Amino acid sequence: MQGQLGEESELNAVFLYMGILDAYEAVGVELIGPDVLEEHVLPRMTYYVREFLPEIFSERADSEELTTELRRFLTEFRARVEDAREKGVAGAMTMEEIWELRAAIFGFESVFINILGDSAIKNYVLIRMADILSAYLPESLLDPQIPLKTKLESYAKYIQDNKFVGFARVSFGDDEISVAANRCEFSRIHDSEAYRNLDVRFCPWGMIASAIVAAHEGKETNLESSLFTTKGSVSKIKAK
Amino acid sequence: MQNSWMFLGIESLIVAVLLLGWYFGARRLNFNIHHLVVYTVILAHALVVFFWMIPTAQEISNWVFSNPIGNLRLVLHFGIGMVADILSIALAVLFIFRRDMPLSILRRARPVMITTLTLWVIAYGLGVVNLLLRYL
Ligand code: HEM
């Protein structure tokens, strides 16, 4: 769990996570206000890191301190991504840090559910997210010459080869694409208390896939649903 | 006796399909495959139980239960197989009512499914051994 991710995958993984975070923040600022992070997300993030990783974070009794630490982590993480962008390599990222990021993403998701409601998420937030996130995809996934199927398959292979998930699969239906990920490193989150109203929770692997579709098709893409299982998810994507 | 080998063949096929359904369906979250396999297998197996296992059990039950310890393999096959069958039917019925497969239910159903599959394979293994020892 606490191990380091493989060297080559790091940079891409960091960008993708940063992309999800940036997309959430951009949409959050746009719809809720400039202090969305400070007022709404950080308190939830503090709660979630404790819930997800009790063995590390529950010992820190003082919430204030933990919040400060998480705030600093997010700022430093952004600086690190900037740095990595220039140098072309990311500093080592631990699983613990990825968990902190996952908690931040989860925090945003919860804020949107509580403040904006379900339909805003489905009809607006996710479409905007896919759009913003597509700017973070690696070059190889942006080339318009490469067929969408190849791109999605290489994405599935990528997250599987890098052991983010034990198995990933993409399949094409008549008018929708389904992305399955099983035995996910982060599936411990599925045990969270917050994983109750699952109609508006979405798997990040599905989000990234929908960004790939959005970037390829050059039009709005809707992440319809994520069906969560104990250790995985199946997400359905529709191009509008 | 002719029938025994035929039903052994059918049951072997059923177990093979069930295992393939687990590997290509459940593990790969391909629910079309998983569902098709479990429902087909449960039905096919119910027919075997009804037309062959129950009649055979009736024939030999007096003899088996007159010496349950001596016939432990048969008793275990019968007991474990019955538990696996009951669990599989319970799962099938449960998911007919919960087609949406909510996470809260999956979390509890998953260990039951894994147990069912394991017991099914064990019962099958005992069944094969029993037949071989009886006829060879
Ligand atoms: C004979 C009955 C059944 C057996 C032996 C069986 C077997 C299994 C096994 C072994 C798994 C775990 C796969 C893994 O992660 O390695 C599984 C998962 C699953 N099965 Fe079944 N299954 C049965 C009936 C059903 C039925 C009737 C349904 C629904 C229609 C169902 C839906 C599922 C789902 C949704 C999962 C994924 C659960 C998760 O990972 O959270 N199963 N099954």
Residue A232 to residue A187: CA distance in whole angstroms: 6
Neighbours of B58 (CB within 10 A): 9
Q: What is the pLDDT of residues A180-190, one digit of tens each?
A: 999 987 787 78
Phi, psi of A227 (to 5 degrees): -90, 120
pLDDT at B92: 97
Q: How many helices (H) and strands (E) does chain A have?
A: 9, 4
The 10 Å Cβ neighbour count of residue A59 is 9
Which residues are bridge partners to A94 per DSSP? Answer: A4
Atom of ligand 1 nearest to the CA of B92: 27
| Residue B107 tokens, joined | 């979390």
Per-residue model confidence (pLDDT) at position B76? 94
- Reply yes or no on whether the pLDDT at A1 is more than 50: no
| Cβ of B22 less than 6 Å from ligand 1 | yes
Going from the C-alpha of A109 to that of each of A50, A93, A221, the distances in angstroms are: 17, 23, 18
pLDDT, averaged across chain A = 80
Do the bridges between strand A233-239 and strand A165-172 make them parallel or antiparallel, or are there none, so unpaired?
unpaired
Question: A213 C-alpha vs ligand 1 centroid, how far in Å?
Answer: 30
Measured in degrees and rounded to the nearest 5, phi and psi for residue A82 equal -60, -45
Strand partners, A172: A177
A4 has a pLDDT exceeding 50: no
Beta-bridged to residue A171, according to DSSP, are A178
B30 contacts in A (CB within 8 Å)? 169, 171, 180
Q: Is the pLDDT of residue A90 over 80?
A: no
Contact status, residue B80 vs residue B126, Cβ threshold 8 Å? yes
Closest CA to A76 of A131, A18, A125: A18
Backbone φ and ψ of A192, nearest 5°: -65, 145
Q: Which tens digits make up the pLDDT trace of B47-85?
A: 999 998 999 888 888 888 888 887 898 999 999 999 999
A46, A70 in Cβ contact below 8 A? yes
A109-168 pLDDT, tens per residue?
888 888 888 788 878 888 888 888 888 777 778 888 889 999 999 889 988 887 789 999
User: Ligand 1 centre and the CA of B57: distance in Å?
Assistant: 30
Q: Quote the ligand 1 centre to A225 CA distance (angstroms).
A: 20
Strand partners, A221: A239
Q: Which residue has the higher pLDDT, A12 or A76?
A: A76
pLDDT band for position A62 (50/70/90)? confident
For residue A230, give the chain B residue with the closest CA: B107
Amino acid residing at A2: Q
pLDDT higher at A50 or A68: A68
Q: In terms of Cα–Cα distance, which of A50, A49, A25 is closest to A108?
A: A25
Angle between helices A7-31 and A95-111 in degrees, nearest 10? 20
Write down the domain spans for chain B.
Answer: 2-135
Q: Determine if ligand 1 sits within 6 Å of the CB of residue B84.
A: no
Q: How many A-B residue pairs are in contact by the CB < 8 A criterion?
A: 36
Geometric angle at alpha carbon A49, from A43 and A54, rounded to 5°:
130
**CA atoms of B70 and B60, how far apart (whole Å):** 14
Q: How far apart are CA A92 and CA A10, in angstroms?
A: 7
Q: In the structure, what pLDDT confidence band is assigned to residue A227 with cuts at 50, 70 and 90?
A: very high
Nearest to A2 by CA among A105, A104, A81, A98: A98
Amino acid A103: pLDDT:
75
Q: Is the distance from the beta carbon of residue A229 to the nearest atom of ligand 1 less than 6 Å?
A: yes
Instruction: Summarize pLDDT for B24-39 with one digit per residue, the tens.
Output: 999 999 999 999 999 9
A11 falls in which pLDDT band (50, 70, 90)?
A: low
d(CA A146, CA B21): 33
- Per-residue pLDDT at A88: 64
Which of chain B's residues have a Cβ under 8 Å away from the Cβ of A167? 27-29
- Residue among A24, A20, A41, A18 at smallest CA distance from A207: A20
Distance from C-alpha of A227 to C-alpha of A201, rounded to nearest angstrom:
9
User: Where would I find the H helices in chain A?
Assistant: 7-31, 42-52, 54-57, 63-87, 95-111, 118-120, 126-133, 148-161, 204-217
Partnered with residue A236 across adjacent β-strands are A178, A225
Amino acid identity, residue B99?
A: R
Distance CA(A172)–CA(A177), nearest Å, equals 5
Q: Is pLDDT above 80 for B2?
A: no
> Closest to B29 (Cβ–Cβ): which among A195, A198, A232?
A232
Q: DSSP readout, A35-82?
A: TIIIIIIHHHHHHHHHHH-HHHHTT---HHHHHHHHHHHHHHHHHHHH
Please list every residue in chain A whose beta carbon sits closer than 8 Å to the beta carbon of residue B107: 190-191, 230
Both tokens of A53, joined, read 């990783």
